[in-house]
Every structure is written in C-alpha cells, then in structure tokens.
Amino acid sequence: MLALADVLFLLCATAAVALANGLYRLRRRQQAQASAATKQAVDPLAFFASPEPCTSVTPDNLATYPGARDHIYVNRVLRHPYHQVMGHQPMQSNDWIEVDANYVGDLRKKAELIATQGKVVLDVVDDAAVRLGCQELMEHVSSWLTVRYPALFQWADGGKRAIHNLVTGLTLDLYHGHFSRKASHKEGGHGTLKDGADALLVVSQLVQDDFLIGSPLPDGHWLCAGGIVAFPGFYLLSDKIGTTLMQTHDPVPQFNEKLLFSVERTLTRLEPTKPIERTSWEIVDSEEDQFWVPMAGPLPTGSGAKPTAPHHLTGRAEDASATEDASQLVLRLDHQTFVKMPKSRIVFFGVHPFRRRLEQLRGSPLLPRLLLDIHEHAPADLMKYKGAPLYQASVLPFLRTLDQWQRDHGLVQGGERSQDFRLYKGNHL
C-alpha cells in the first residue's frame, strides 16, 4: 500500500506533466497563429530585396572590368565527377545582373542581331500574362540597375518614365510615346507602359543578359513563351518558342529522365522574393560570334535565321582540330538566373555568357587538370552533347601542356585532387 507521501508525489508529477503538455500545446497554437498572421502580412506583389550600390564601376573603367565574380569558382559549375544536375542555389540580390568588359560590344552585337534576325532572337507568344511579365521585367531591371550601378544608369529627369544608360548614351522610354521633360512632369502624362516584345527591346539595350520566358501551363508543365535570346550559341529562340520544357530539352542527355520533374517543381514553387541561380559551361570556337558558333554546324534557316558569317553556311571545318590554336578557344561560362515576376507569375531565365580563352587558365591552379578529368571521365553522351568530340583532339593535349606547366612552375605538385581546385584559388600567377 502506497504511503501518503508517495500518493502526493504521484499526484504532483501527473499535474506537472499535464501542465507541461498544456503549455506545449498553447505554445504550438500561438506559433501557428503567428505564422498564419505573417503569411497574411506578406505582400503578394513583393520582389526580392534591392541590391547594394556598386559605385566602383564607371563608364571610364567598364572596358577593363572583369566582373564582380569569377564564375569558375561559383555555383559548382566545374566539378568532378561530372554528371547532369540542376546545381542551383539561392541568388543574392546583388548578383542578378552583372556587367563586364564585353558590355559595349555585347549590346552593340545584340542590337545588330535584333535588326538582322528579328523574331529569330526576339519574340513572345500572344498571351496577356506573358506580355505583363515582360513589362514587369523591364520595370524591375530598370529599377534594379539604377540602384546597383548608379554610375552607369540613372532615371532620366528624376522620374521613372525613362532610364538613361550612361555607357551608351541612350535614354530609353519605358512608356509608349516619345520621352520629353514636359511629359515627364505632366500628371498622368506617362501614357501606357510598354509590354511584350517592346519591353524586351528596352531590356536588350540595358543588359548583356539574354532572357527566356517560362510560362506555367494548367497541367503543371512549363512553356517556352519567347524572350530575347541573342547569344544562344547552339540553338535558336525561333525553334524553341511555343514548346514545352520537355520538348525544349529533348536534345539534352538525361535531362527529361532525371531532371525535368524537379526543375518544373522548382519553377512552380519559386517565389519572387527568393530567386535562384546556377552556372553552366561549354568550350566554343568563337569569342566574337555567340549567336551561332562554328561548332554548332551550319545555321538552320527553317525558322527564319539569316546567315551573316561564312561559318553560318559551312559550320566548323572538319580538320579544324588539326590546324587550330587550342589556346585561343573559349571557355564559355553562362551565369543563369531564375526570377519569378510577382504579378504575372512568369519566370525569366536570364543568361549572361562570360568568356575567357583557354590560355587564360594557365595561371589558375588545377583548372587544366579538372577540365581534363571532366573530359576523360564524364558520361560520353553528355560530353558529345557539349561538342567535345569536335575539339578534344586539339584541346586535351593543350590542357595537358598547361597542367605540366603548372607543375614545372610550382602552382601544383601533382598529387592534388582536381576537384579541390577552389582551395588553391589564391595561388594564381
């Protein structure tokens, strides 16, 4: 038989447990209510945070500016073992639009391509949400640029009707009609904001990035709804517009089987306040023509493309790898951003092609060996898609030469793992 003290102890313990459980349930209920209140308070039209001003980039030094980040070392673009992954990460607000020394040349070339190729490089499907999305992109890019690069972009006359590009000297009107000081000060005188292809034309005169449009379909899949794509290298916007993400990626090994579901789910769940980014790579044989590189073969003209260079007719010479200087081939690093517009829910897939000649890898420890490992051990179908069989007869011996040069000059010892190249970033020559 229990003593009175034992009975009292049990009663107290039971009461304590009941009290603790009650407090726990109360705390959980309060947290749930707070979370619900927070969700209700979030602005459904919120966009990601404004960037920090970068005042060090000016029209005077832009021609020698390498870019804020070295994309070899961000976003796990070069890796060993190498296989097909989306490889995205959260994008910081400072990193949406990057400029580099190719800025003026890229914008000039983009304008030429729009003039000569037309809808092959700039087109949108006839859809209200897509037109609105293009308008949102134009507004957000313009606002973002004036904050991030105040020495390169300013609102004209203090308003937000037109943006002045201090590098090119152009003043670009975001509204239909001609910009004037009188109109900018007149109440209600702005007119109608540009949308669709007109808005993308404005964007094309501000940034080096191309933009592909992703539009959600009722069945959960995504449609390529157009864009401004002047520097695709190996494909044409006019061949992709109006196709689903699955159809667009049919040529890409392993994509539809391994990545399509997760990519479409990521696009669906993406929020305007939480953009993402990744970087991809390829080796190309032209730094000047990023619209259609020789390795891509003859330019297909079925969707309206017009040949404007000799290699557009012939493609890459069959004996090119036997005669070319591999040091002058180009490692192209595409900075890719995924940003959803808050009103239309359209996703814009931005692509900025950074380029460097293979010779420039000489002073970067382990990078030649990493590229060798990728080419020698990555899945054959993936490397074929990247065009490796077209250039490896010249490029792989050159990479071996660079690797040996780095050993001879003490940048590497020979026993390091190539995938650890980031650890040696500070050892550049």
When mean pLDDT is compared across 83-87, 106-110, 243-247, the lowest value belongs to: 83-87
Residue 85 pLDDT? 80
User: What are 307-340's pLDDT values in tens digits?
Assistant: 999 999 999 999 999 999 999 999 999 999 999 9
The pLDDT tens digits for 178-216 are: 655 555 444 445 689 999 999 999 999 999 999 999 999
pLDDT, position 245: 96
Q: How confident is the model at residue 244 (pLDDT cuts 50, 70, 90)?
A: very high
* 85-111 burial code (b ≥16 CB/10 A, e <16): eeebeebebbbbbbbbebbeebbebbb
- pLDDT over 80 at 347, yes or no: yes
Q: Would you say how long the chain is, in residues?
A: 429
The whole-chain average pLDDT of the chain stands at 90
Per-residue pLDDT band for 84 (boundaries 50, 70, 90) equals confident
- Report, as an integer, the average pLDDT of 128-134: 98
Instruction: Check residue 356 and give its pLDDT.
Output: 95
User: What's the confidence (pLDDT) of residue 50?
Assistant: 95
pLDDT at residue 87 in the model: 84
Decide if pLDDT at 11 tops 60.
no
Lowest pLDDT segment from 122-136, 263-277, 415-429: 415-429
Pairing of strands 122-124, 330-340: unpaired
pLDDT bucket at 38, cuts 50 / 70 / 90: very low
Query: What is the C-alpha separation between 398 and 392, in angstroms, rounded?
Result: 9
What pLDDT score does 292 carry?
A: 97
Give the chain as a 3 state SS string: CCCHHHHHHHHHHHHHHHHHHHHHHHHHHHHHHHHHHHHHHCCCCCCCCCCCCCCCCCCCCHHHCCCCCCCCCCCCCCCCCCCCCCCCEECCHHHCCCCCCCHHHHHHHHHHHHHHHHHHCEEECCCHHHHHHHHHHHHHHHHHHHHHCCCCEEEHHHCCCEEEECCCCCEEECECCCCCHHHHHCCCCCCCECCHHHHHHHHHCCCCCEEEEEEECCCCCEEEEEEECCCCECCCHHHHCCCEHHHHCCCCCCHHHHHHHHHHHHHHHCCCCCCEEEEEEEEECCCCCCCECHHHCCCCCCCCCCCCCHHHHHCCCCCHHHHCCHHHCEEEEEEEEEEECCCCCCEEEEEEEEEEEHHHHCCCCCHHHHHHHHHHHCCHHHHHHCCHHHHHHHHHHHHHHHHHHHHHCCCCCCCCCHHHHHHHHHHCC
Encode pLDDT of 169-183 as tens digits. Answer: 999 999 997 655 555
Q: Supply the pLDDT for residue 260.
A: 93
Q: Give residue 159's pLDDT band: very low, low, confident or very high (50, 70, 90).
A: confident
Residue 298: the pLDDT is 97
